[in-house]
Amino acid sequence: MSPEQLITFATVAEHGNISHAALALHLSQPAVSGQLKLLQEDFGEPLYQRAGRGVRLTAAGEQLLAHAQRLRETFRQAQALAEAMRGLERGTLRIGASTTPASYLLPYLIADFHAHYPDVLVSTTHGNTAEIVAALHSVDIALIEGPPGQDLPVGTGVTPWQQDEIVAIVPGGHPLADATEQSLTALGAYPLVLRESGSGVRQIVERAFARQGIAVRVALEIAGVEGVKEAVRAGMGIGFVSAMSIRHEDGVLRAVRIAHEPLLRRFSILLPHAAAPSRAASRFMELCLEQH
């Protein structure tokens, strides 16, 4: 007994005629008769009887029909879902994003995607770069800051995306508040507020200080961009964040660019199943690149 045989049986019962059912199923009449014969043999009971030019179900056939109809309806629903997903009328999209793109880019990208595909369910996973790379098995696409590292799942595609600049931030009353840019040496003379281990921003800042042989005086290590900003407001030290994270600040915090060697990084788009991405992931990636 196979699903195809049960679907054929339900169609024959609906039409009451084997030749009409064959037309509806786009099969030959002998093919339909052959499936009915095999089903009847497997079931072990007569399921229908000839009645003039048509067929009439037996009592056993009537009992089986309810199951066959449910199976056919489930199959039809699966077909409708596949067709809807081909047109992105339905479906799901799981997005992973590290802190900066999650906070300052992702909301706009999702709004754009939702305007085009309102019935696709979007879910998001946030974390630092290392956490998102570790969670690639559970997302369809990911947006990260800084290099993805070497421990990517096999088959993951990496596409360079937008460029971002890391700036120092100080409170309005800080001695460096009126400077538009400062050297790392001048910044390193003050206590620093750094992101948590695994943060893309922290990696870039530490490498920049190491290249110039400047010791880092860490006053506070704190998770998240907003945590860094609040700590700087509280006077804990100089912080480092993405320039886009302070574009709506009210002047309480001042941005100071790094002189001589600006701290630049590139965001990347990771596609865990690059050889066969979902349609939703492919379209979302296209939207990201259009906004590049």
**Looking at the predicted structure, is the pLDDT value of residue 83 above 60?**
no
CATH of domain 163-265: 3.40.190.290
pLDDT, residue 232, reads: 96
Q: How confident is the model at residue 292 (pLDDT cuts 50, 70, 90)?
A: low
Least confident of 68-82, 127-141, 148-162, 276-290: 68-82
Q: Say if 3-86 and 163-265 have the same CATH topology.
A: no
Cβ(149)–Cβ(239) below 8 Å? no
What is the average pLDDT value for the chain, to the nearest integer? 89
Cβ(174)–Cβ(187) below 8 Å? no
Tens digit of each residue's pLDDT (9 = 90 or more) over 5-53: 999 999 999 889 898 888 888 889 899 989 999 998 988 889 888 888 8
What's the CATH class of domain 3-86? mainly alpha
Kindly tell me the sign of the dihedral angle through the C-alpha atoms of 68, 69, 72, 73.
negative
Q: What is the bridge-based pairing of β-strands 157-171 and 141-145?
A: unpaired
Tens digit of each residue's pLDDT (9 = 90 or more) over 212-245: 999 999 999 998 889 999 999 999 999 999 998 8
pLDDT, residue 160, reads: 93
- The conformation of residue 179, written as its DSSP 8-state character, comes to -
Cβ(194)–Cβ(202) below 8 Å? yes
Rounded Cα distance, 3 and 141, in Å = 35
Higher pLDDT, 83 or 245: 245
| Of 128, 101, 88, residue with least CA distance to 280 | 88
Q: How confident is the model at residue 89 (pLDDT cuts 50, 70, 90)?
A: low
The set of residues, in sequence order, having a beta carbon less than 8 Å from that of 27 and lying 6+ positions away, is: 8
Rounded Cα distance, 68 and 40, in Å = 13
pLDDT, residue 84, reads: 57
Write the CA distances from 244 to 25, 105, 133, integer angstroms: 58, 9, 22
Rounded Cα distance, 245 and 143, in Å = 16
Least confident of 225-229, 239-243, 259-263, 272-276: 272-276
Map tokens 């754009």 to a residue: 112
Segments making up each domain of the chain, as ranges? 3-86, 92-161+267-290, 163-265
Rounded Cα distance, 202 and 113, in Å = 31
Q: How confident is the model at residue 284 (pLDDT cuts 50, 70, 90)?
A: very high
Q: What is the pTM of this model?
A: 0.64
Rounded Cα distance, 84 and 31, in Å = 30
**Looking at the predicted structure, is the pLDDT value of residue 86 above 70?**
no
CATH 3.50.50.60 fits 92-161+267-290, yes or no: no
| Of 252, 92, 104, 96, residue with least CA distance to 172 | 252
Higher pLDDT, 154 or 221: 221
The set of residues, in sequence order, having a beta carbon less than 8 Å from that of 282 and lying 6+ positions away, is: none
Structure tokens belonging to residue 56:
């009439």
Q: What is the bridge-based pairing of β-strands 238-242 and 192-195?
A: parallel
Tell me the DSSP string of 216-229: P-EEEEESSHHHHH
Helix (H, G, I), strand (E, B) or coil at 115: helix
Rounded Cα distance, 21 and 27, in Å = 8
Rounded Cα distance, 108 and 140, in Å = 18
Tens digit of each residue's pLDDT (9 = 90 or more) over 165-214: 999 999 988 999 998 999 999 999 999 999 988 888 898 999 999 999 99
pLDDT, residue 264, reads: 92
